[in-house]
Copies of this chain bind each other. A is one copy, B any other.
Amino acid sequence: MLRAASTDVPVLVRDTDTDTDTDTGLGCPCMSGSSIEVETPALVIDAGAFAANLERGRREFTRGGLRYRAHAKAHKSAVIARKQIEHGAVGVCCAKLGEAEALARKGISDMLITTPVIGMTKVRRLVDLQRLARVAAVVDEAQNAKEIASTAESAGVEVDLLVEVDVGQNRCGVRSPDAALQLTRVIEASTGTRFLGLQGYQGRSQLVPDFRERQAQAMASADRLRAVVDRLSEAGIVPEILTGGGTGTSAIDVEIGRLRELQPGSYIFMDTTYAGIEWDLDCNPPPFHPALSVAATVISRPSSTCVIVDAGLKALSSDSGIPRVKGTDAARYSFAGDEHGTVDYDHGQAPSIGAQLELVPSHCDTTVNLFDEFVVVRAGAIEEVWSIDARGRMH
């Protein structure tokens, strides 16, 4: 159960059955009687865990002189992007142009869009956006690079481009060193575009639980990127930036030393899936803490061992499995529809109607995308509310 940090802050909603802390009656932020009032389902950041992740990220991702550009797809929030930059990130990545636009409007000035920006309308938006911020993009085919180049030339700006290289994900990216070289030359041929470097991201490796297997995959990706670097080098071209990697392979990528810029996103919140990977050869857990939860309220109590809560598929993503009930191993959440969840307790300990509990998502990125704001809680009290500026900004 969360408690108020000081007498200035109202005590949070409690298990209605009891006035003392219990494992099952975890509270959630609700400043009743205050000008701000947060109700469930609410997306809650644990300020302490979040701050620890920020600081640990700075240390982890800058080892050996490496740079990092935190991936904002995880949080979609300018406030958090700014904090990451204050903690040593050289800027942020965005998955979509719309994300970059939303963050640029809130003052984020250095971004990389990690997915190709396709179609003339989007290309024009990308070029227009350069007036607000420096926004680099990735390309994997010539036509797109040429469209960006000519649009940028007409507008009198220069767009930084990276060639995306498929390093094993079978998603976007050029498939060979020769294709990368050809595309690089297209970029270099125009005054509207500047060749900044290469992106080689292997998302499938990030969540491989076994450390050695993840390490082997990261090394294979690094080899594929190296082959492209070598080919460019033969042609006298040296990429300024080699970017890729994520939270899961970050420690490995630091050791390999191939990438010059990491793109970690999930470290800031973690989720139950990430928490399950072996971080190193000693099978330690990741050095980051679960910092995100969805606060939910008990709305019905079918029995002494079962309650229904007000958070279902529209409040918690299900693509990576079911959420965990925070603070107890004796309760199990299951989805019970779009707006309902069932929580089963091992013994007759189910909280009463009106009690609140917290659920830890199995996948933070897709859960964050369901909400408009983060409620930041420290010691049981609301500290701040942060806007999720790019929520739903898919295009």
Contact = CB atoms under 8 A, between A and B. Distances in A.
Interface of A: 13, 30, 32, 37, 39-42, 73, 95-96, 115-116, 118-122, 140-141, 143-144, 166, 170-173, 175, 203, 297-302, 308, 310-311, 313-315, 317-319, 335-340, 342, 353-354, 365-366, 369-372, 391-392, 394-395
Contact of A392 (B175, B308, B371): B371
A10 to B, nearest CB: 12
Given A42-B395, A171-B302, 7 more contacts: A30-B121, A41-B395, A95-B339, A141-B300, A171-B300, A172-B340, A370-B370
A119 B96 CA distance: 39
Contacts of A140: 300
Contact of A172 (B40, B119, B297, B300): B300
B340 A171 contact: yes
A219 B395 CA distance: 46
Nearest to A74: B338
B300 A342 contact: no
Nearest to A311: B394
A369 to B, nearest CB: 5
B302 A175 contact: yes
25 contacts: A39-B119, A42-B395, A115-B339, A115-B340, A116-B300, A118-B310, A118-B354, A119-B354, A141-B300, A141-B301, A141-B353, A144-B353, A166-B302, A171-B300, A172-B299, A172-B340, A175-B302, A311-B394, A313-B317, A313-B319, A315-B394, A338-B365, A338-B366, A370-B394, A391-B392
A171 B307 CA distance: 8
A318 B316 CA distance: 12
A314 B366 contact: yes
Nearest to A369: B314
A308 B166 CA distance: 12
A203 B337 contact: yes
Interchain residue pairs A-B with the least CB separation, the first 3: A172-B300, A39-B395, A95-B339
Contacts of A301: 141
Contacts of A369: 314, 338, 370
A42 B122 CA distance: 14
A395 B144 contact: no
Contacts of A300: 116, 140-141, 171-173
Contacts of A299: 115-116, 118, 172
Nearest to A370: B392
Contact of A319 (B172, B318, B340): B318
Contacts of A319: 313, 318-319, 335
Contact of A118 (B120, B297, B342): B297
Contacts of A37: 121
A337 B41 CA distance: 25
Point out which of A41, A300, A354, A366 has the most chain B C-beta atoms below 10 A from its C-beta. Answer: A300
Contacts of A317: 313
A73 B118 CA distance: 33
Contacts of A298: 118
A101 B298 CA distance: 21
Nearest to A40: B395
Given A116-B299, A300-B116, A371-B392, A121 B314 contact: no
A31 to B, nearest CB: 10
